[in-house]
Amino acid sequence: MEKELLEYGLNRNRRRFLSRLSLGIGTVALGSLLIPDLFSSRKGSPAPFGKRPSIPDFAPKAKRVIYLFQNGAPSQLESFDYKPKLRAMQGQDLPESIRGGQRLTGFTANQPSLPLVGSFVDFQQYGASRAWISDLFPKTAAIVDDICIVKSMHTEAINHDPALTFFQTGAQQGNRPSMGSWLSYGLGSENQNLPAFTVLISRGKGNSQGVYSKLWSNGFLDSIHQGVQFSSGEDPVLYLRDPEGLTRKDRRDMLDQLAQLNQWSYEENQDPEIHTKIQQYEMAYRMQTTVPEVLDLSKEPQSILDLYGEDCRKPGTFAANCLLARKLSEEGVRFVQLYHQGWDQHANLPKEFTGQAKDVDQASAALVTDLKQRGMLDETLVIWGGEFGRTNFSQGALTKDNFGRDHHPRCFSIWMAGGGIKPGIVYGETDELGYNIVKDPVHVHDFQATVLHQLGLDHEKLVYKHLGRRFRLTDVAGKVVKDIIS
């Protein structure tokens, strides 16, 4: 291999080589002046490739995000939006004046009636804000003074795939960068030994909607910004371990020679993606020692394991992923995306929703508590919520003990904590039947603009020109929800 590389190099045009060498030295010198840490290998220095040259736009209140995405859309009427009048009107048909001709999904569009159905679970008030929280979320209720509940979220999509894609990428179609990719592009990484954007997936016992790699895609951004999925198997990151018989020195020598070949290829083709590939190989090499250490729970004290619950000892569970999210954030990962599947309760909602809530309540609250006691919550934005809400009427037959709820994009609830978000408040209101927003609506693009703002990024300036158009996460809309910012 070394002989072939030498012959290839000697055969190249000498004049062209010297010309490019002079340009390269000038670029290196300029880079070292503009970015002093460009060639530093110390932990915490920014990644040298694929980052905007001027960041942040203003002083950030958060450094990182942990997004606990509840895939399938949990019902706001069984969690954070208390509507006692629904119980009083149980079984009555949804008034057309409330529905307002809203388009329904194919599940309920042909139903002869849309019978209203109240929550099967009771609510209590908690905290200084006297927020109403379902009895299925007692641990979340205990941290109510640390979270901001937004009850007035709304979206444009009525089906899972476009709604989920819209939340993650700002568009309902694919091939757009995910929010985590935008943050990687806008802010770079805090730790060169780990990716800026990681993905963890867990599955509940309820009806599951799928998640897919386009949700953590880099889209048209450099591929270094793509989310890296961690699995619960023997190899948390596939193909990271060296093949049998290959030593660390062999791997290092191979990567050095491969980098040289790639550099020559770049000089021929001027394709910036080649530099990205070089960086990805180097990242994988560094992750070989870093990832096992991050995944090791043996050093976690018993009090922390008890805080997250028994499931945190089982790889691949929501609780285990929440604990891992804290560890990844602690190591400088910019954006940790969790997906917990199983929230699509078109039928059998009382049983399935109860199981789902049990899966996530303790660990979600534990994550906020853990971050707070470590002094990390102020700089870490935690988000909990799904892609849309659930109807206030029953899908299918309504019986005494059972019912389902269809998709509802007009209003739903999420909560946020840390990262400069006001704690202990409830923002937005829906009508007494929980069908329409009556105060302080928050669109998906508003939510995205606010998240970027908390990390010091102006959503109107975080742009990337592609195919002649300037793209951004919030498309051509979005406004920062200043009332929830401390």
Question: What single string gives the DSSP state of each residue in 118-187?
Answer: --SS-EEEETTTTEEEETT-HHHHHTGGGEEEEEEEE-S--SHHHHHHHHHHSSSSSSS--HHHHHHHHH
Query: Which residue reads 């285990």 in tokens?
Result: 320
Beta strands in 343-436 (DSSP E): 380-385, 389-395, 404-408, 412-417, 425-427, 429-430
10 Å Cβ neighbour count for 257?
14
DSSP 485: B
| Exposure string over 26-62, b if 16+ CB within 10 A, otherwise e | eeeeeeeeebeeeeeeeeebbbbbbbbeebebeebbb
For residue 354, what is the enclosing H or E element? helix 349-373
Q: What is the distance between the terminal CA atoms of the chain, rounded to a whole angstrom?
A: 59
| Exposure string over 447-474, b if 16+ CB within 10 A, otherwise e | bbbbbbbbbbbbbeebbbeeeeeebbbb
Pairwise CA distance, residues 77 & 122, whole Å = 10
DSSP, collapsed to helix, strand or coil, labels residue 364 as: helix
The tokens describing 340, both together, are 């917990």
Minimal CA–CA distance to 167: which of 447, 379, 450? Answer: 447
Going by C-beta distance under 8 Å and a sequence separation of 6 or more, which residues neighbour residue 162?
A: 172, 173
Pairwise CA distance, residues 298 & 292, whole Å = 11
Handedness of CA 413, 416, 421, 425 (dihedral sign): positive
Minimal CA–CA distance to 337: which of 109, 181, 133? Answer: 181
The tokens describing 337, both together, are 């995306």
Q: What is the pLDDT of residue 242?
A: 64
Tell me which residues of the chain have a pLDDT lower than 70: 1-55, 233-243, 245-246, 248, 250-251, 253-255, 275-291
Please tell me the pTM assigned to this model.
0.84
Tell me the helix, strand and coil percentages in the chain, rounded to 5. 40, 20, 45
Handedness of CA 312, 314, 319, 322 (dihedral sign): positive
Q: At what angle do helices 349-373 and 318-330 cross, to 10 degrees?
A: 20
Minimal CA–CA distance to 292: which of 367, 376, 234, 337? Answer: 234
Pairwise CA distance, residues 349 & 75, whole Å = 9
Handedness of CA 108, 109, 111, 115 (dihedral sign): positive
Going by C-beta distance under 8 Å and a sequence separation of 6 or more, which residues neighbour residue 103?
A: 109, 158
Question: Using an 8 Å Cβ cutoff, are 166 and 73 in contact?
Answer: no
Q: What is the pLDDT of residue 210?
A: 83
Cα of 187 vs its chain's centroid, Å: 15
- The two beta strands, 412-417 and 147-154, are antiparallel
The tokens describing 95, both together, are 């008034």
Q: What is the pLDDT of residue 249?
A: 72
Q: At what angle do helices 248-269 and 2-10 cross, to 10 degrees?
A: 20
Backbone angles phi, psi at 250, to 5 degrees: -60, -45
Beta strands in 292-365 (DSSP E): 335-341
Q: Using CA atoms of 204, 62, 228, 191 in order, give the dihedral in degrees to the nearest 10.
A: -140
Question: Using an 8 Å Cβ cutoff, are 371 and 330 in contact?
Answer: no
Residue type, 463: V
Question: Using an 8 Å Cβ cutoff, are 213 and 339 in contact?
Answer: no
Q: What is the pLDDT of residue 37?
A: 43
DSSP, collapsed to helix, strand or coil, labels residue 405 as: strand
Residue type, 424: G
Going by C-beta distance under 8 Å and a sequence separation of 6 or more, which residues neighbour residue 305?
A: 297, 312, 313
Minimal CA–CA distance to 78: which of 425, 407, 405? Answer: 405
